[in-house]
Structure formats: structure tokens, C-alpha cells
């Protein structure tokens, strides 16, 4: 797949503080790229560099095969984490202003705003002042303004903050729909369940360095520990733990079940066969539960950050 | 549409449509006219009261010398003792009692005359009493020395210097006053404009920061464009408001003076009235004023007023914008306001004290080149005739500084608008310049 955006060895210092150190990321066309990292890791700085708000000290940004140009702002839609609207301005007027700043003509802006307002069921708000809106409502307006000019690259920094679950879902579906229509999405968040749901690719930044990068599925494969969650109703429950302990690396676990069974996490060697394990367990009794433990994005995040 | 014009348009419209702005536009001139009307009315009222002063003149020499005026009446009382006179005077509504004892020697009158009153008498009344007495004493002394007072009066010559520049332009003291007025009004106008609309720019920068819209904006627009758009938009709104003020004030004061018959020019200081009398009545004064205005370097004045006004205002407003970007709320602006206000106030002081004293002296000249004070000081100097090359040099310095300041302000602005929740110190801001 072709890359829409490449950041090559981007570094940025603020005085003595190093915000980004030689960061390289590649964002594939039509993918959802998750930019993760603890607070203060440098994510926002990287996003600002991509948006040409801040200039990098070293390195370059390539958009669609060409170095980033000031005119490229019309190809990028950015929803910053610190976002707001003019409080005393009317919603419609404000949207028109922001859309025109992005290079849309008056009539284009109006037409598209009508479409989006209807789509997000906010068409009654055109003449309301922003200060009359709730936080969630204002977030919807900001979302519309970000995507209105149909940019090929959409950047969302914590897009779901301030939304109730219903509206968060609505926005999530809109983001995925935009991806399906061909947009590429960079997505920065702390909410790991939305990373899990939406991202094809992730990069983890910690203390201004990139410490993890790749397809989410590959990373998960790399982080799996050959551990299986097992539920067993043994024929002979005595000594079963010792028997298992002799053969495997086990630990106790608990999961919800309707059976009254013994619950273990069993870790096998990488070259051991899973089939052998299942066969062996069935000889001990009734196997009621057998699931591979797949590391969640959350686990990976915590583990990698801790190890660095 | 071009970004800059979009931003200017938005800034202008939000300012002009703002309720507080509209209210102030209409209320300020009404309040101003109301105050002027009130002051004129009160000073007319004040002029109408007649103060009566009783004079107990034991010497019998002075009383005929006191002349009644519109506001002051002298009443002679005779044949009573001082104690009785004091008692009677205290009971009456009279302004006070002047007691002149009988003295052998004229010199003794210098410090033996007493004025009794309820509370401290007004200085102007005392001066007129003292003048009358002094005049009489002087005449008496001259007589005593055998000199004819009338002869002295005849011999006295009042000198009125004719003023003329080398270029052959006739000027007068009245002209100097007018020049001062022109320069003063121009300088003061600029001063007010900078403070009112500079603050407005600062507030609008802070608003964008606190409402967090700034990052959305600068992902589409360059910060420098936003900064310039803000300055120009607010300036246009300011000019609109100023124009509205002038028009409303003129309309209102003409309405007020026709309806209530109050002469708004009656609120004059005694000095102005003196000037009026000296130049022989208002009719002549007005024609003289017109003559003098014609003599002023009008074209030069108007053109330079525009240039210095724009330059000075832009210079200061970019500083105001930088402050707005550096802070998080208006309460944090104090520490940065002082260094801006100082040169401005200094300019006003230099203008009103030094320029009046000596428009082309070293101090006046130096301050009319320093960019932070030059708009005010130079505007005050120009009516007195400043060589064109000096004006242009000062303008060049001013605009060069403006460009440097905008660059500097834009740097602070660019970094500052993205710093949330941080209270900037001077040290921090210097660091930002290197980002």
C-alpha cells in the first residue's frame, strides 16, 4: 500500500526540552493510524508539525509523495485536543467562516454544511450562539468543521472527549465511513478500546521517542505469550494442580462461567503444539473453556511504556 | 476570498455587532455632552450669584476705589465698631467683611487690612480686592512722592511683539495657543485611541486563547495573518466608533444648545476669558482664529497626523497583541502593561511640558525620533513647523520599528497562543523568541 504521509526523522526542541527525537512514521493511504503515548510524550507536537503549526528542527514531512507545502492545509483536517469555538458567534456564521478559511467558496461551504447539519441532526442550530450549546453539541460542530473541506488526511486528537456514548458511536461511525470513502485518518487517543476498534496501525511515542510501531495485528502477535485460559472439570480433582505445575507454567485466573470448574492460565513453550495441550487436558477431565490470551492494546501500552 | 480580508471582516463585524460596543458608541457621547452641558449650566449658575462684601473703611480712603462687578458688590458701612460690624456680618448672608483700619503711614496698609468671612474666601475674589487696594496705595505713594500718577500712566507703554518666521509667515501668541491646541488634541487622541483599541485587540487575542479556538484557526491560517487581521479589523471598528462619536457629539451638542439655550462654550476657564477680552471681543477672536488656522501648515498637519497616527497605533497594537498571546487571562496582563504604558505616558508628559516650552529643543527633538514616543511628541511639534526631513526620518524609524515589532510580536504570538495554563514570565518570553 502507498503511504499518504511520511514523517522522516522529525526532531523538535523547545529550548532545552526535547519534545521529539528522530521520529519516523508512515501512514498508509486509507488506513486508520493510531498515535499513542502517555501524557506529554510529544504526540501533540508531532500533530502540530504535520499541520505546519510548528516547524520541525530537523527531518521532513512528506504528504502524497511531496514535501509538505503551506497550500497543503486544504488537504488536511485537524481536530486538536484543545479545541473550542467563538462563544458569542452564531453557529452557522462561525462554520461559514472556518470553512472559508479552509478555502471553500461561500456557496460550497453552505451546501456542505447543510448536508452535514442534517446528517448529524443539528440543522436547528444554525442561528444559535455557541454559548447556548452543550459541550457535546459544540464538539459535533467542531467535527463538522474538521471534515467539511473533504481533506485526504484527517487528524483527530482525542475526538471522543466530551461525547456521551451514543454520540461517540455516531462520530466513530462517521470516521470509519470517511475512511471507507478514501480518507486517511491519524488518530491520537488514550482510550484503548477505541484504538482496538478502529486502528489498523499504531505507533507508540514515549518520552519523545518512538518505542513501538506497526500493524496492530502484528504487534499483538509479537506480544502474545502462548498463554491459554483454560476451564477444566477434572475427573479427579486432587493433585491436579501439582500435575499441571510439573508440566506447564500455570497461574490461576478467573473468568465468568456457568460451570463450576477449575480456572487456570497455562503458558506453553513457543514450539509446543496447542493441539497437544488440548489433547492432554482432555485426558484429565472435561475441558469447558479454552481461549488464547490475546494482549489488549491497553496491556501492550502499559507494558511497553513501563519497560522503557 | 483572501484569508486576511476574511479575518478582518470577521473581527470587524464581531466588534461592531457586540452589544457592549454598540451601547458604548451611543452612550459615551451622550454622557460627554451631558457632562459638558452640566458643567456649562453650573458655571452659568455660579456666575449668576452676586457676592456682597461689606467694607468697614475707617481710613475713608479706599471705598470709592472699589468697583462693583457682575459677581461682586461692595457695601460701605460706617460709624460702627469692628465688633458690631463683625457680628452683623456674620448674621447676614454677605460673603464677608473687609476691615480697613485708619493708619497714619500709607506703608502700614500693606499688612493691617483684614478680611473676615464664614470660611476661606475664593482666591479670585481676594485677588480682585487686593488689586484694588494695591492700586490705590500705589497712587497715594506716588502722590506722596510728588509724582503725577496720570503722567506715569501716560508714560507706560504696552509692548506687543509681532511674531514672524524667517519665511515671512506672521504668527501670534494666539497662533501659538492654537498650535498647541492642535498638537495637544492630536497627541491626546492618539493616546486615547491606543489605550482603548489596543486593549480591545489584547482582549480578543485572550478570548481566542481561552475559548481554545486558536489551534483550529492556525491549522488553516498563518499566525501572522491572524495577528494582522485582528489589528486591522479592530482598528476599523475603532475608526467607526470614533467617527460615530464625533457625529453624535456634534449633533447632540447642537440640539442641546438650541433646546436648552445653554452655551456649551461657557465652560471656559478664566484664562480663556482673559484671552477673549484681550483680543477685543469674540467676533474679532473668531476671525483671528480662522486666520491663524489658515496659517497653520494644514496639509502637512493632516497628512502627518494620518501617518503618525497609523504608525503609532499599529506599533502599540502589535505589542498589545503579543501581551494577549503571552497570558492566559486579563488579570495576568498587569506586569506587561506597565512597560507599554510608560513610554506612552512619557510621550504625553514630554509633549505637554517640554514641547510647549520649547518645541524644537533637544529633548523635544530626541523624543520625536524615539519610536514609542514619536507619534505623540511629533504630532505635537508639527504645528510649530518641523522640517520635512525630520518628519520623514521619524516616520521611517517608526515604521521600521513597527515591522520589527510585528515580527517580534508574531514570534511571541505564535508560541504564546499554544501555551495554555502557563503564566509567562519575561524570561519565558525571551526563550520563546528562540523557538
pLDDT in tens, A261-278: 888 888 888 888 889 889
> Phi and psi at residue A230, in whole multiples of 5°?
-125, 135
Contact between residue B360 and residue B337 where contact means Cβ atoms under 8 Å apart: no
Q: Give the Cα separation of B396 and B361 in Å (integer).
A: 21
Q: Are strands A201-206 and A32-36 parallel, antiparallel or unpaired?
A: parallel
Q: What is the pLDDT of residue B148?
A: 78
Question: What is the pTM assigned to this prediction?
Answer: 0.74
Burial class (CB in 10 A: 0-12, 13-18, 19+), A7: buried
C-alpha cell at B346: 512619557
C-alpha cell at A219: 504487534
Q: Give which of A40, A48, A56, A82 to mutate to test B binding, by max B Cβ within 10 Å.
A: A82
pLDDT averaged over 10-residue windows placed end to end, chain B, 435 residues? 86 90 89 84 72 81 75 79 81 82 79 83 82 82 80 78 66 70 82 87 87 86 87 89 87 78 52 51 65 71 84 88 83 83 88 80 87 87 84 92 86 79 70 69
Which residues of chain B have a CB within 8 Å of the CB of A53?
A: 215, 218-219, 418
Q: What is the pLDDT of residue B169?
A: 59
Residues A198-218 have a mean pLDDT of: 88
Digit-coded pLDDT (tens) for A63-108: 988 998 888 888 999 999 888 888 888 999 999 999 999 888 999 9
Q: What is the pLDDT of residue B265?
A: 52
pLDDT score of A217 more than 70 = yes
Q: What is the pLDDT of residue B48?
A: 66
CATH of A3-221, one of 1.10.357.10, 3.40.50.300, 1.10.10.10, 3.40.50.2300: 3.40.50.300
Please give, rounded to a whole number of angstroms, the shortest distance from the CA of B221 to a CA of chain A: 7
- CA of B238: how far to CAs of B196, B201, B227, in Å? 9, 10, 16
Q: Give the Cα separation of B364 and B304 in Å (integer).
A: 17
Residue written as grid cell 442561528? A127
Q: Which residues of B touch A (CB under 8 A)?
A: 1, 3, 6-7, 10, 14, 18, 207-208, 211-213, 215-222, 418, 420, 431, 434-435
Please give, rounded to a whole number of angstroms, the shortest distance from the CA of A76 to a CA of chain B: 9
Residue written as grid cell 494695591? B134
* Contact state of B431 with A15 under an 8 Å Cβ cutoff: yes
Which residues of chain B have a CB within 8 Å of the CB of A106?
A: 1
Any B CB within 8 A of A100 CB: yes
- Global ipTM: 0.78
Which residues of chain B have a CB within 8 Å of the CB of A88?
A: 14, 18
Any B CB within 8 A of A51 CB: yes
Nearest CA in chain B to A131: B211
Between these two residues, B73 and A29, which has the higher pLDDT value? Answer: A29
Please give, rounded to a whole number of angstroms, the shortest distance from the CA of A59 to a CA of chain B: 16
Nearest CA in chain B to A57: B435
* Contact state of B216 with A98 under an 8 Å Cβ cutoff: yes
* Contact state of B216 with A80 under an 8 Å Cβ cutoff: yes
Q: What is the pLDDT of residue B89?
A: 80
One DSSP character per residue, B405-417 reads HHHHHHHHHHHHT
Interface A-B, measured as beta-carbon pairs within 8 A, has a size of 65
Nearest in space to A44 (alpha carbons), one of A32, A35, A33: A35
Any B CB within 8 A of A141 CB: no
pLDDT score of A115 more than 80 = yes
Which residues of chain A have a CB within 8 Å of the CB of B433?
A: none
Nearest CA in chain A to B208: A86
Q: Give the Cα separation of A44 and A40 in Å (integer).
A: 8
Closest by Cβ to B219, choosing from A51, A86, A106: A51
All domains of chain B, ordered by start, with CATH?
A: 50-155 (3.40.190.10), 174-432 (no CATH)
* Three-state secondary structure call for residue B370: coil
* Contact state of B211 with A76 under an 8 Å Cβ cutoff: no
- Ordered by start, the domain boundaries in chain A are 3-221, 225-292
Any B CB within 8 A of A69 CB: no
Domain A225-292 architecture:
2-Layer Sandwich (3.30)
Which residues of chain B have a CB within 8 Å of the CB of A76?
A: 219
Q: Which helix (H) or strand (E) holds B75?
A: strand B72-77
Which residues of chain A have a CB within 8 Å of the CB of B18?
A: 88
Q: Give the Cα separation of A91 and B4 in Å (integer).
A: 21
Q: Are strands A66-67 and A76-79 parallel, antiparallel or unpaired?
A: unpaired
* Three-state secondary structure call for residue B99: strand
Residue written as grid cell 496447542? A274
Contact between residue A203 and residue A212 where contact means Cβ atoms under 8 Å apart: yes
Q: Give the Cα separation of A292 and A272 in Å (integer).
A: 14
Contact between residue A252 and residue A264 where contact means Cβ atoms under 8 Å apart: yes
Residues A109-136 have a mean pLDDT of: 89
One DSSP character per residue, A184-213 reads EEEEE-S-HHHHHHH-SEEEEEETTEEEEE
Nearest in space to B13 (alpha carbons), one of A84, A79, A143, A96: A96
Q: Give which of B220, B418, B419, B424 to mutate to test A binding, by max A Cβ within 10 Å.
A: B220
A3-221 and A225-292 in the same fold: no
Nearest in space to A193 (alpha carbons), one of A174, A216, A210, A177: A216
Q: What is the pLDDT of residue B267?
A: 47
Residues A209-216 have a mean pLDDT of: 88
Give the mean pLDDT of chain A.
88
One DSSP character per residue, chain A reads --EEEEEEEEEEEETTEEEEEEEEEEEETT-EEEEE--TTSSHHHHHHHHTTSS--SEEEEEETTEE--GGGGGGEEEE-SS----TTSBHHHHHHHHHHHTT--HHHHHHHHHHHHHHTT-GGGTTSBGGGS-HHHHHHHHHHHHHTT--SEEEEESTTTT--HHHHHHHHHHHHHHHHTT-EEEEE-S-HHHHHHH-SEEEEEETTEEEEEEEHHHHHHHH--SEEEEEEEESS-TTHHHHHHHHSEEEE-----SS--EEEEEE--TTS-HHHHHHHHHHHEEEEEEEE-PPPHHHHHHHHHHH-
* Three-state secondary structure call for residue B62: coil
Q: Give which of A80, A103, A145 to mutate to test B binding, by max B Cβ within 10 Å.
A: A80
Contact between residue A108 and residue A116 where contact means Cβ atoms under 8 Å apart: no
Helices (H), B18-54: 19-48
Q: What is the pLDDT of residue A79?
A: 93
Q: What is the pLDDT of residue A123?
A: 84
Digit-coded pLDDT (tens) for A164-203: 888 889 999 999 999 999 999 998 988 888 888 889 999 9
Nearest in space to A36 (alpha carbons), one of A223, A224, A194, A163: A194
Quote the strand ranges of B78-162, DSSP E: 96-100, 114-117
Any B CB within 8 A of A131 CB: no
Please give, rounded to a whole number of angstroms, the shortest distance from the CA of B240 to a CA of chain A: 21
Q: What is the pLDDT of residue B283?
A: 62
pLDDT bucket at A47, cuts 50 / 70 / 90: very high
Question: How many residues belong to chain A?
Answer: 308
pLDDT score of A60 more than 60 = yes
Q: What is the pLDDT of residue B158?
A: 75
Q: Give the Cα separation of B10 and A54 in Å (integer).
A: 25
Residues A149-155 have a mean pLDDT of: 92
Amino acid at each position: 500500500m502507498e503511504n499518504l504521509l511520511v514523517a522522516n526523522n522529525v526532531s523538535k526542541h523547545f529550548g532545552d526540552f526535547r519534545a521529539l527525537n528522530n521520529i519516523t512514521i508512515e501512514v498508509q493511504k486509507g488506513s486508520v493510524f493510531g498515535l499513542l503515548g502517555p501524557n506529554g510524550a510529544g504526540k501533540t507536537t508531532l500533530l502540530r508539525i504535520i499541520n505546519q503549526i510548528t516547524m520541525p528542527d530537523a527531518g521532513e514531512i512528506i504528504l502524497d509523495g511531496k514535501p509538505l507545502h503551506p497550500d497543503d492545509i486544504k488537504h488536511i483536517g485537524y481536530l486538536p485536543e484543545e479545541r473550542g469555538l467563538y462563544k458569542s458567534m452564531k453557529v452557522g456564521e462561525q462554520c461559514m467562516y472556518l470553512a472559508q478559511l479552509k478555502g471553500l467558496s461561500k456557496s460550497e461551504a453552505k451546501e456542505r454544511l447543510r448536508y452535514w447539519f442534517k446528517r448529524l441532526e443539528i440543522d436547528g442550530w444554525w442561528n444559535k450562539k455557541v454559548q447556548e450549546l452543550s459541550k457535546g453539541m459544540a464538539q459535533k460542530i467542531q467535527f463538522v468543521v474538521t471534515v467539511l473541506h473533504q481533506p485526504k488526511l484527517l487528524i483527530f486528537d482525542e475526538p471522543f472527549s466530551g461525547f456521551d456514548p451514543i454520540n461517540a458511536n455516531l462520530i466513530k461511525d462517521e470516521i470509519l465511513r470517511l475512511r471507507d470513502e478514501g480518507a486517511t485518518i491519524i488518530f491520537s487517543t488514550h482510550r484503548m478500546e477505541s484504538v482496538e476498534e478502529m486502528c489498523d496501525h499504531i505507533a507508540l511515542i514515549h518520552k519523545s521517542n518512538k518505542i513501538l510501531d506497526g500493524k496492530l495485528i502484528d504487534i499483538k502477535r509479537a506480544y502474545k505469550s502462548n498463554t491459554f485460559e483454560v476451564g477444566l472439570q477434572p475427573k479427579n480433582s486432587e493433585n491436579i494442580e501439582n500435575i499441571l505445575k510439573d508440566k506447564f507454567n500455570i497461574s490461576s485466573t478467573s473468568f465468568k462461567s456457568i460451570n463450576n470448574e477449575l480456572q487456570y492460565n497455562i503458558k506453553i513453550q513457543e514450539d509446543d503444539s496447542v493441539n497437544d495441550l488440548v489433547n492432554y487436558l482432555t485426558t484429565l477431565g472435561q475441558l469447558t473453556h479454552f481461549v488464547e490470551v490475546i494482549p489488549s492494546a491497553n496491556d501492550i501500552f502499559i507494558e511497553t511504556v513501563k519497560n522503557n | 476570498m483572501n484569508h486576511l480580508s476574511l479575518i478582518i471582516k470577521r473581527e470587524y463585524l464581531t466588534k461592531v455587532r457586540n452589544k457592549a460596543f454598540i451601547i458604548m458608541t451611543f452612550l459615551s457621547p451622550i454622557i460627554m455632552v451631558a457632562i459638558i452641558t452640566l458643567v456649562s449650566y453650573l458655571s452659568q449658575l455660579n456666575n449668576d450669584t452676586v457676592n456682597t462684601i461689606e467694607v468697614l473703611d475707617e481710613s475713608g480712603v479706599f471705598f470709592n476705589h472699589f468697583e462693583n462687578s457682575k459677581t461682586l458688590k461692595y457695601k460701605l458701612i460706617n460709624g460702627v465698631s469692628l465688633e458690631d460690624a463683625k457680628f452683623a456680618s456674620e448674621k447676614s448672608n454677605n460673603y464677608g467683611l473687609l476691615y480697613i483700619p485708619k493708619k497714619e503711614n500709607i506703608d502700614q496698609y500693606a499688612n493691617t487690612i483684614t478680611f473676615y468671612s464664614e470660611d476661606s474666601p475664593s482666591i479670585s475674589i481676594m485677588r480682585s480686592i487686593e488689586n484694588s487696594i494695591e492700586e490705590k496705595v500705589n497712587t497715594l505713594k506716588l502722590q506722596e512722592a510728588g509724582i503725577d500718577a496720570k503722567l506715569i500712566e501716560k508714560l507706560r507703554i504696552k509692548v506687543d511683539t509681532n511674531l514672524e518666521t524667517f519665511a515671512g509667515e506672521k504668527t501670534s501668541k494666539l497662533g501659538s495657543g492654537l498650535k498647541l491646541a492642535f498638537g495637544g488634541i492630536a497627541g491626546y487622541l492618539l493616546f486615547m485611541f491606543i489605550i482603548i483599541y489596543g486593549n480591545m485587540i489584547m482582549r480578543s487575542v485572550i478570548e481566542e486563547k481561552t475559548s481554545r479556538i486558536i489551534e483550529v484557526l492556525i491549522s488553516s491560517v498563518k499566525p501572522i495573518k491572524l495577528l494582522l487581521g485582528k489589528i486591522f479589523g479592530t482598528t476599523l471598528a475603532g475608526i467607526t466608533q470614533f467617527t460615530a462619536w464625533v457625529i453624535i457629539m456634534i449633533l447632540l451638542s447642537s440640539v442641546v444648545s438650541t433646546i436648552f439655550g445653554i452655551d456649551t462654550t461657557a465652560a471656559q476657564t478664566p484664562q480663556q476669558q482673559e484671552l477673549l477680552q484681550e483680543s477685543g471681543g469674540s467676533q474679532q477672536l473668531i476671525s483671528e482664529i480662522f486666520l491663524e488656522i489658515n496659517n497653520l501648515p494644514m496639509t502637512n498637519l493632516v497628512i502627518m497626523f494620518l501617518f503618525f497616527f497609523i504608525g503609532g497605533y499599529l506599533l502599540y497594537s502589535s505589542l498589545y497583541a503579543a501581551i494577549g498571546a503571552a497570558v492566559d487571562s486579563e488579570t495576568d496582563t498587569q506586569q506587561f502593561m506597565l512597560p507599554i504604558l510608560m513610554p506612552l505616558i512619557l510621550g504625553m508628559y514630554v509633549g505637554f511640558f517640554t514641547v510647549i516650552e520649547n518645541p524644537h529643543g533637544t529633548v523635544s527633538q530626541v523624543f520625536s525620533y524615539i519610536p514609542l514616543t514619536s507619534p505623540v511628541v511629533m504630532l505635537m511639534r508639527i504645528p510649530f513647523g518641523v522640517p520635512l526631513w525630520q518628519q520623514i526620518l521619524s516616520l521611517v524609524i517608526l515604521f521600521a520599528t513597527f515591522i520589527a515589532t510585528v515580527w517580534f510580536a508574531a514570534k511571541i504570538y505564535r508560541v504564546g497562543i499554544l501555551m495554555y495554563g502557563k503564566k509567562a514570565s519575561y524570561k519565558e518570553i525571551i526563550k520563546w523568541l528562540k523557538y
